[in-house]
Chain A
Amino acid sequence: MMTKMGHRAFMQKVCQWGNTFFIGSIATFLATPQPGQAHGVVIQHQPVAAQTIVAQYEAGKPMANAQVTVYAPNGDSPWLQGTTDQDGRFLFTPDPAQPGDWQVRVRQAGHGGIITIPVQAGVKANHAIAASTPTSEDSVTQGPTDFPGTGYTGLQKGVMAASVVWGMVGTASFFARRKA
């Protein structure tokens, strides 16, 4: 009897802890700023390997408002399209998950050219470089970013997942106590 009562008391404690963690995890989740929330603002920065293209005619005149098409390595379909600015410049960021020879085609009024930009795996440059003169000095090596695009670190993700799991365990234990 004492053993049975002790088990019940233990289960009640487990349920209380579980529910506390479950509610706590929900509260933590709701309290964490969410991307796209009406009043929340999240501003982050991340270095990327931006490439600046400068397109000119041979006489030095900028190819202003020229059509630009970017091709990923071995791609026949455009990866990105746009136009140059008044100075013939165009900025884009290659997908670092697609290393290899990226190509940029610039066309205007029946004239055009294509340039090849080698992009190495795992190498990111933190400032723009001229496409015609890429050098290793313009690049810095960085490790992969945790959960890219979500705004949460791995630790935050782990705590949230553990809280949800523990909360569900507690809830299930609560209903299991009634049947016992």
Chain B
Amino acid sequence: MYRKLLMGAGAIALAVSLNSGCADNSPTTKTDSPIATGQSTEALPAEAVGTLEIRANGEDFVRQGFTSKDGWKIEFDHVYATLAAVTAAQADPPYEPEKGKELQAQTQVSLADPQTIDLKTAGAETVRVGEVKAPAGRYNALAWKMVKPTDGPAKGYPLLLQGKATKDSQTVKFAIKIDQELAFSCGEFVGDERKGNLKPGEKADLEATFHFDHLFGDAETAATDDLNQGALGFAPLAAIATDGQLDADLATLKQKLSPADYQKLIGILPSLGHVGEGHCKETAIQAGA
């Protein structure tokens, strides 16, 4: 009998002690990546590597067209962008371009060759730039250059916008040829979902995003909004078209636009590159390239 009593008391005491230990106070620890910058994926075991895909996105502004801040309905036929030195990095500390500090990559991978892509590619929300085998980990930084392609439909222009703009009875067919090379360095993708968390044996993606509403403005946004206040709009471009045609590189635009509008255009170019909604730092223009 006493043995049963002792067993019962022991069971209760055990239950009480287990209950009091239910609260989880055990800390988790941060695991730092042991992979040094620039280490080849060939030196890593296969189970430590995944596939990182880089995509580009011109958003609905490019895919579906939109109305500029000054009432021009813009439809694109093609938006060619040539991306080079596309580099994804595991940055520690996390890279925040607006703070002006250098990107400190613990691990980084790059695409081998420049790629010219058309952000207007039919049926695609985002366009594949390329993919690379990469060590697993969280890729929280992306950098790329925009260079002059040596061949193809956009030869000589890192960014080429082709389409038409309509307002009332006016239509302007345009080819805006941006021959200024650009370079963007960005932090973590900011959007509906998180991107860049590459797990061993799996696939993840990062996105270079282009915000063309910064150039033309957006009629669906208040005229007083900073976006529209800073945008060029399309009216200054329509004003320099001839017979409903505008075919202009930066030299032509500099010659025909007012100095204020041209400076506005040049000032907008560094703000085109994003990672989702996250801003980037442009370095090529700042360096005088």
Q: Which residues of A contact B (CB under 8 A)?
A: 57-59, 61, 71, 73-74, 76, 97-101, 103, 105, 107, 109-116, 121-122, 144, 147-149, 154, 157, 161, 164-165, 168-169, 172-173, 176
Residues of B near A98 (CB, < 8 A) are 27-28
Residues of A near B24 (CB, < 8 A) are 97
B278 and A99 contact, CB distance less than 8 A: no
Answer yes or no: B153 CB below 8 A from chain A CBs: no
Residues of A near B25 (CB, < 8 A) are 97, 144, 148
Which residue of chain A has the shortest Cβ distance to B2 in the bound complex? Answer: A176
A107 and B30 contact, CB distance less than 8 A: no
- Which of B5, B27, B98 lies in contact with A58, CB distance below 8 A? B98
Residues of A near B194 (CB, < 8 A) are 71, 76
- Cα distance A154–B23 when bound, in Å? 13
* A-B residue pairs in contact (CB < 8 Å), sample of 11: A59-B226, A76-B194, A97-B26, A98-B27, A101-B30, A109-B221, A112-B276, A112-B278, A113-B190, A148-B23, A172-B5
- Which of A97, A144, A169 lies in contact with B28, CB distance below 8 A? A97
Residues of A near B190 (CB, < 8 A) are 105, 107, 112-114
Stretch in B7-15, B48-56, B244-252 touching the partner: B7-15
B27 and A97 contact, CB distance less than 8 A: yes
Which residue of chain A has the shortest Cβ distance to B9 in the bound complex? Answer: A165
Secondary structure at the A interface, as helix, strand, loop or mixed, is mixed
B9 and A168 contact, CB distance less than 8 A: yes
Answer yes or no: B202 CB below 8 A from chain A CBs: no
Task: Name the distance in Å between A164's Cβ and chain B's nearest Cβ.
Answer: 7
Residues of B near A113 (CB, < 8 A) are 98, 190, 277-279
Task: Name the distance in Å between A7's Cβ and chain B's nearest Cβ.
Answer: 13
Which residue of chain A has the shortest Cβ distance to B27 in the bound complex? Answer: A121
A114 and B30 contact, CB distance less than 8 A: no
A61 and B226 contact, CB distance less than 8 A: yes
B13 and A161 contact, CB distance less than 8 A: yes
- Which of B23, B27, B193 lies in contact with A149, CB distance below 8 A? B23
Task: Name the distance in Å between A57's Cβ and chain B's nearest Cβ.
Answer: 6
- Known contacts A107-B277, A147-B20, A148-B23; decide if A100 and B94 are in contact (CB<8 Å): no
Residues of A near B213 (CB, < 8 A) are 110
Answer yes or no: B58 CB below 8 A from chain A CBs: no
8 Å CB interface, B170-221 against A: 187-188, 190-191, 193-194, 197, 211, 213, 221
Residues of A near B276 (CB, < 8 A) are 112
Residues of B near A103 (CB, < 8 A) are 94, 188
Task: Name the distance in Å between B93's Cβ and chain A's nearest Cβ.
Answer: 7
Which residue of chain A has the shortest Cβ distance to B12 in the bound complex? Answer: A165
Residues of A near B191 (CB, < 8 A) are 112
